[in-house]
Structure 1
């Protein structure tokens, strides 16, 4: 019988592609969602695999025991659910506690109620790698050995965006600490992507409901911006390649208790606007010109050789990622 994989936060952007990756590989998938409306949205996105898709309802993942029922009978877990809030007011309540507890509760549930689980892959973020205080950091190369050094105390002066970065760091470190101290019967692997772009699998009845990553692209050509925005994170990965990274981290024995930095290449919003204006004449008027054809500044780079060597992960081009995303939005 095929294995059953639990994917948390099943209605999310990354999760939708992770689900598709496993369904196409012949696995059964159980997704956690908050309500039936979210479940129906996921069903619609994967209608051709309906017989291999089921759901477990988790209204609040920060509640102790939230995943106890969802993990029963599961063979493996992909934990994508985590708060993505860049304008939080109460950092502890909105970011730190739910990010850490959501991760710990899935690990605790697996240890106590899912003896068949052997691997849990956790969606972390480049946020847990980057030292935002260093800025562009010309010539520096980030690897899996780097950890975001900002403390919880420092976020109160730094603001909500750095607080989000720290929440991802706390959650990822908590996962590795759990495995080291509790020594469960399963191993973990974490994937740390930067910005995530690419096409949508789900549909939206309003573009205002786009996920944060997709809105980051859509705003560049929908007429809402008069100037090219400043680039905050200088690297990206295609959502389909990120989903593949999760699949490979789950199926590769050598990935046990490993951390993987995943990114295709560096980019800037100026480069994206240049590409959109060149490819889509109909969008020239609504896409800011900025300083056209400005070269990428000297910024930090990401060494993703570990994921390539150990997982065999390959990446799509920026052209494929961007144009597939734009084409998706234009047909909605």
Structure 2
């Protein structure tokens, strides 16, 4: 058998929404991939996905039961050329909080330690050329009266008491991302002679069909809840994240970030649609009505205005430049998420 000369990428988070789509696009771009997984059941979903079938021969697997322990990735990084670290704890935006939660255990430690451990393991593999780390736009904010938040405008951390006593999961999630982002900054400063460089990708609120979802409940978990809430008329109290980005656009951003000829080391790339502004969720309602008139008429879909949403804006110039195209709009997001919902709902109705 002829040797496989494709570059090998280690991918964490490949059993999740963003990570899986990034894995698929990396394979399509000509990389081999080594998938990090924690459970056999989650790995089975990846192996069984239609998009993976043409690339089975380009896949390897690495079992890492706990990504926060020292040396967790030491074996997984052996022989890899690039490291895509996408895995990080997420939250359910429908959670209202109320009960006492251990944010250190639930968000802060996994996000912070998982990132530091990944970089430490990468140092032990001399073949690695670049580590790409997934951050989030929630880690940055506009500074000094600027109209746009840039990729390096990291939010300050509140005091320890505030961090410990949040009552809303989303707030703890935000600062877990801030901690991890700052930890990477510190690591880069402490390792000026590292044999690899680091690029960070900062996604907005990701919308797009999750191929690994096997029912409507799984499809609505995570950020796709935004489009689901609009299409099904679920008016939730309080503002919800906007700054939307189409799944394929942010997955492509990760893959392009591997290319040292297109993206310089040390860069941070923000991905938010509509020139970095996103949309208020009410803007999604007429799109649902126009794309799915029959389903709206018969009550399967119940789009309804009234969902609150903050308006923020981000500097996406560098990302659009390296991608070579603008980000997809509302119609693409709605079509992707709602068509999958209708297909899954139809399957559940005939089961």
Q: Tell me the TM-score normalized by structure 1.
A: 0.88
Partner of 1:60: 66
Kindly state the Cα deviation for residue 256 of structure 1 after the two structures are TM-superposed. 0.3
1:12 aligns with 2:40: no
* Count of matched residue pairs: 321
Q: Shift of the alpha carbon at 1:119? A: 0.5
Aligned residue for 1:60, secondary structure, equals coil
Residues 258 and 139 from structure 1, CA distance in 2 versus in 1: closer, same or farther, beyond 3 angstroms?
closer
Please state how far the C-alpha of 1:158 moved relative to its aligned partner. Answer: 4.3
Divergent runs of 4+, >6 A: none
1:305 to 308, 317, 323: 317
The residue aligned with 1:146 is 153
Alignment of 1:26-65 (within 5 A): 26-45=30-49, 46-65=52-71
Offset, 1:217: 2.2
CA RMSD of aligned residues (A): 2.5
Q: How does 1:281-300 map to 2 (within 5 A)?
A: 281=293, 282-283=295-296, 285=299, 286-290=301-305, 299-300=311-312
Which of 226, 236, 249 aligns to 2:244? It is 236
Q: Secondary structure at the match of 1:255?
A: coil
Contact 2:242–2:310 (Cα < 8 Å) also in 1 = no
Kindly state the Cα deviation for residue 43 of structure 1 after the two structures are TM-superposed: 1.0
Report the Cα distance in structure 2 between the residues aligned to 1:41 and 1:301, rounded to whole angstroms: 36
When structure 1 is superposed on structure 2, of 88-97 and 98-107 the one drifting more is 88-97
Tell me the TM-score normalized by structure 2: 0.84
Distance 1:299 1:220 in 2: 17
Measure, in 1, the Cα distance between the counterparts of 2:107 and 2:25.
Answer: 28
**1:174 has 2:183 as partner:** yes
Q: Structure 1 76/240 Cα, relative in aligned 2: closer, same or farther at 3 Å?
A: same
Superposed counterparts of 1:1-332, under 5 Å: 1-45=5-49, 46-85=52-91, 89-112=101-124, 114-130=125-141, 140-151=147-158, 153=160, 154-159=162-167, 160-183=169-192, 184-204=194-214, 206-210=215-219, 211-222=221-232, 225=234, 227=235, 230-253=238-261, 254-265=263-274, 266-281=278-293, 282-283=295-296, 285=299, 286-290=301-305, 299-312=311-324, 314-332=326-344
* Residues in 2 aligned to 1:72 and 1:120: alpha-carbon distance in whole angstroms: 14
The runs of 5 or more residues in structure 2 that have no matched partner are: 345-351
Deviation at 1:323, TM superposition (A): 1.0
In the alignment, structure 1 segments of 5+ residues that lack a partner are none
